């Protein structure tokens, strides 16, 4: 697919002119004063999510230009290529089809369906695997002898299921405990092994490749511990979630749930990698999670660009990164169960869009992924919100909150929501004070995402929304959002350094690494 680089489009030039003319000094407070319909114009519903974009530094004319930029850079045809199963991950020659994992089965009676008929075979495989995995999940749920589920995996094989199991804590089956071991630091596995017993534990070894050193080391140690402590039935107590079934069986695991190379690690929570979540919330809950995501897929695939929420969010990200030169975005979930949501988004966005070359390998003259970071509110307010309100850098904030809580503790939820709204209000309004120290400049942008409640369906929708917004900004930037070569060099060097830590050999090393190694060997 021949695509025009974003900075060579007419829309980019117009956006630059607009930014120089009025964009840089845009005042959102004046925009609200001048337009009583601003909230309606810059807010919208998408499946399970209401989004208020009106507190952002943008007007209708700029949004039109950004939509033009999307058209001129071919975002729509790129999106359609993803949904057609084309190999848009060009450096690995792979299709990008995590969306297929949440597509309902084909109804043979209905010829015109969203999924292309030539996908039928793949979709049938997806559903066969899903059904097997959900049957296994239900069997584990019914098995009172299994009390602890230990997921061993890292990156996408950890963050997605961990984030989702924590987020849906209110829906988790009582009597089962979930543990997540990702770090090669033995303290992490050790802390879990201290709490569990071989006879009542199910280890899930989650690794797309089944070669990741952290996961293999932890899995081997878990197996050694299991056998050393009287565990006998590996088939009952270990399962593998992987595309590399052969490696899992060589490791000694016979219960395996597979997936496919067209599912990126950070997009894999919808696949067998989601097994801990399926055990936690049950087959029905997992299906609702998939259905919420599918509803957003359909929205992204079919809604006109101007009312397409992932498109609007992704374009806003481009506006902030490339015109305002904002280098980061803070995510502020006003729901304590979303405590791993910022970490999940870090991998999703920074591993996808942290690229300095375009899809042809040519260095880019413009910025790509922002730094994504955050903590649940209200905790963040008492830590780094000082910087958000009065620091020298402007950091757009993305709030997310649920209208209805899953508890009935008096007053808490109203206070929580009041804080979320007040923070967004304070960032925008500011407060004049002649003294300097108590002055808030205001005009600091934020987006507010509102769910009715945090449920399997709304979480699925929220995550799919984030996946597609990352697709949109990556698509405008012309990068391959689906590879991750940047993680490879450190992995290779770690092998060399590990050998040197054993031998003490510092030959050929830089003086700093040699000096540190000498202290550690």
Binding site residues, ligand F6P, CB under 6 A: 154-157, 207-209, 212, 215, 265-266, 351, 484, 487
Task: In angstroms, give the least distance from the CB of 273 to ligand F6P.
Answer: 8
The SS3 of residue 307 is: helix
CB atoms within 10 A of CB 125: 14
Q: Which of 116, 382, 438, 495 is catalytic?
A: 382
Q: How wide is the angle at C-alpha 376 spanned by C-alphas 398 and 403, nearest 5°? A: 70
| 88, 93, 99, 102 alpha-carbon torsion, rounded to 10° | 170
- For the question of residue 412 being annotated catalytic, the response is no
Q: Which is nearer to ligand F6P, 353 or 447 (CB)?
A: 353
Compute φ and ψ for 374, nearest 5 degrees: 160, 180
Task: In angstroms, give the least distance from the CB of 182 to ligand F6P.
Answer: 9
**Site of tokens 């003294």:** 435
- For the question of residue 179 being annotated catalytic, the response is no
Q: Which is nearer to ligand F6P, 172 or 216 (CB)?
A: 216
Adjacent-strand bridge partners of 450: 50, 401
Q: Which is nearer to ligand F6P, 27 or 92 (CB)?
A: 92
d(CA 15, CA 322): 10
Q: Which of 195, 438, 491, 495 is catalytic?
A: 491
CB contact at 8 A, 305 and 70 = yes
Helix ranges, 303-384 (H): 309-318, 341-345, 352-353
The SS3 of residue 374 is: strand
Task: In angstroms, give the least distance from the CB of 488 to ligand F6P.
Answer: 8
Q: Which is nearer to ligand F6P, 73 or 466 (CB)?
A: 466
In order, the DSSP letters of 160-227 are HHHHHHHHTGGGSPTT-EEEEE--SSHHHHHHHHTT--GGGEEEEEE-SSS--HHHHHHHHHHHHHHH
d(CA 215, CA 201): 18
Q: Which is nearer to ligand F6P, 265 or 354 (CB)?
A: 265
68 Cβ contact list (under 8 Å, min separation 6):
10, 11, 14
Compute φ and ψ for 370, nearest 5 degrees: -75, 165
Task: In angstroms, give the least distance from the CB of 368 to ligand F6P.
Answer: 17
Q: Which is nearer to ligand F6P, 10 or 252 (CB)?
A: 252
443 Cβ contact list (under 8 Å, min separation 6):
27, 28, 29, 57, 428, 430
Task: In angstroms, give the least distance from the CB of 344 to ligand F6P.
Answer: 11
- For the question of residue 495 being annotated catalytic, the response is no
Distances (CA, A) of 461 to 99, 285, 311, 452: 12, 13, 15, 12
Give the HSE-up count for residue 152: Cα atoms under 13 Å, Cβ half-sphere: 31
Q: Which of 271, 272, 236 is nearest to 254 (CA)?
A: 236
Task: In angstroms, give the least distance from the CB of 153 to ligand F6P.
Answer: 6
Q: Which of 351, 375, 398, 467 is catalytic?
A: 351
Q: Which is nearer to ligand F6P, 250 or 487 (CB)?
A: 487
Q: Which is nearer to ligand F6P, 56 or 207 (CB)?
A: 207
DSSP 369: P
Element (H, E) at 499: helix 488-503
Task: In angstroms, give the least distance from the CB of 471 to ligand F6P.
Answer: 16
d(CA 413, CA 329): 25
Task: In angstroms, give the least distance from the CB of 246 to ligand F6P.
Answer: 14
Task: In angstroms, give the least distance from the CB of 277 to ligand F6P.
Answer: 16
Q: Which is nearer to ligand F6P, 317 or 351 (CB)?
A: 351
Q: Length of the chain in residues, anyone?
A: 521
Give the catalytic positions in this structure: 351, 382, 491
């Amino acid at each position: 697919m021949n695509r025009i680089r974003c900075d060579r489009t007419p829309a980019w030039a117009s956006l630059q002119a607009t930014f120089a003319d009025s964009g840089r000094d845009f005042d959102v407070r004046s925009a609200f004063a001048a337009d009583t319909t601003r909230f309606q114009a810059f807010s919208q519903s998408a499946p399970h999510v209401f989004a208020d974009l009106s507190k952002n530094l943008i007007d209708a004319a700029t949004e039109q230009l950004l939509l033009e930029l999307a058209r001129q850079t071919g975002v729509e045809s790129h999106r359609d290529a993803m949904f057609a199963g084309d190999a848009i991950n060009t450096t690995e020659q792979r299709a990008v089809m995590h969306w297929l994992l949440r597509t309902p089965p084909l109804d043979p009676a209905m010829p015109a369906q969203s999924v292309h008929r030539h996908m039928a075979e793949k979709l049938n495989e997806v559903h066969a695997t899903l059904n097997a995995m959900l049957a296994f999940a239900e069997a584990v749920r019914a098995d009172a002898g299994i009390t602890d589920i230990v997921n061993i995996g890292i990156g996408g094989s950890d963050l997605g299921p961990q984030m989702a199991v924590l987020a849906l804590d209110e829906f988790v089956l009582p009597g089962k405990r979930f543990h997540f071991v990702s770090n090669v630091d033995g303290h992490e596995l050790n802390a879990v092994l201290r709490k569990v017993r071989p006879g009542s534990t199910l280890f899930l070894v989650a690794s797309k490749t089944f070669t990741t050193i952290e996961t293999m080391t932890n899995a081997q140690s878990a197996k050694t511990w299991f056998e050393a402590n009287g565990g006998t039935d590996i088939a009952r107590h270990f399962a593998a979630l992987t595309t590399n079934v052969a490696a899992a069986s060589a490791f000694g695991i016979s219960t395996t749930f597979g997936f496919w190379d067209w599912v990126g690690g950070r997009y894999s929570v919808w696949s067998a990698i989601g097994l801990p979540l399926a055990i936690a919330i049950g087959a029905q809950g997992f299906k609702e999670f998939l259905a919420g995501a599918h509803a957003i897929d359909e929205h992204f695939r079919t809604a006109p660009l101007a009312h397409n929420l992932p498109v609007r969010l992704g374009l806003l990200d481009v506006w902030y990164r490339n015109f305002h030169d904002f280098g980061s975005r803070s995510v502020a979930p006003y729901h304590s169960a979303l405590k791993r949501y910022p970490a999940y988004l870090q991998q999703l966005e920074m591993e996808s869009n942290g690229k300095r070359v375009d899809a042809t390998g040519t260095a880019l003259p413009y910025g790509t992924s922002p730094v994504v970071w955050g903590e649940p509110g209200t905790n963040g307010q008492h830590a780094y919100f000082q910087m958000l309100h009065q620091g020298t850098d402007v950091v757009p904030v993305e709030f997310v909150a649920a209208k209805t809580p899953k508890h009935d503790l008096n007053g808490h939820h109203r206070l929580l929501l009041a804080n979320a709204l007040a923070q967004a209000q304070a960032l925008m309004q500011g407060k004049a004070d002649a003294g300097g120290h108590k002055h808030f400049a205001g005009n600091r942008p934020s987006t507010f995402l509102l769910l009715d409640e945090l449920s399997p369906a709304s979480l699925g929708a929220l995550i799919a929304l984030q996946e597609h917004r990352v697709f949109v900004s990556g698509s405008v930037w012309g990068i391959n959002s689906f590879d991750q070569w940047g993680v490879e060099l450190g992995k290779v060097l770690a092998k060399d350094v590990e050998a040197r830590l054993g031998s003490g050999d510092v030959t050929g090393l830089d003086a700093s690494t040699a000096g540190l190694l000498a202290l550690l060997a």
